[in-house]
Amino acid sequence: MTPSAPSLQGQVALVTGASRGIGAAIAAELAASGATVVVNYASSPEAAAAVVSQIEAAGGKAWSHRANVADEAEVEAMVKAVLEREGRLDVLINNAGITRDGLLMRMKTSDWQSVIDLNLTGVFL
């Protein structure tokens, strides 16, 4: 925990796209600040489990939940699971996102829609 970071003791944080990269780092920092962290992932249970293990090894509390944040029913089920297990949800970090790099003129419509669904609709949901 950085010296100026506020304590999040007793709070519950949900980090979308937390199984790797920036999301994993955010999850670790929130846990170091005292929060119980829900590590959301869409397609990599092993990576999410590794993040949870890393947090627990450092003395934090975490668990993982699979949900595609672009799918309304899955988001609702995830929030319900958090509330049932923890009784509260204090912090939401909308980190999940994808990119389909390349020239726009070569981008498939399905790639464009995937980016819009996850990066925009996922935040809305």
Q: Over the stretch 72-119, which tens digit does the pLDDT of each residue have?
A: 999 999 999 999 999 999 999 999 988 887 777 788 888 888 888 888
Asked whether residue 104 is assigned to any structural domain, the reply reads no
Domain count, the chain: 1
User: In this prediction, what percent of the chain has a pLDDT beyond 70?
Assistant: 96
Beta carbons of 4 and 31 less than 8 angstroms apart: no
CA separation for the pair 55, 85 (Å, rounded): 18
Q: Domain with 47 in it: what CATH number?
A: 3.40.50.720
Confidence check: pLDDT of 49 > 90: yes
User: Residue 63 gets which letter from DSSP?
Assistant: E
Report the pLDDT value the prediction gives residue 2, as an integer from 0 to 100: 52
Torsional sign, CA 22, 23, 29, 30? positive
Phi first, then psi, for residue 93 (nearest 5°) are -110, 110
Q: Could you list the residue range(s) of the whole structural domain that residue 34 is in?
A: 12-97
Closest CA to 70 of 102, 98, 49, 37: 98
Asked whether residue 67 is assigned to any structural domain, the reply reads yes
Asked whether residue 62 is assigned to any structural domain, the reply reads yes
Asked whether residue 74 is assigned to any structural domain, the reply reads yes
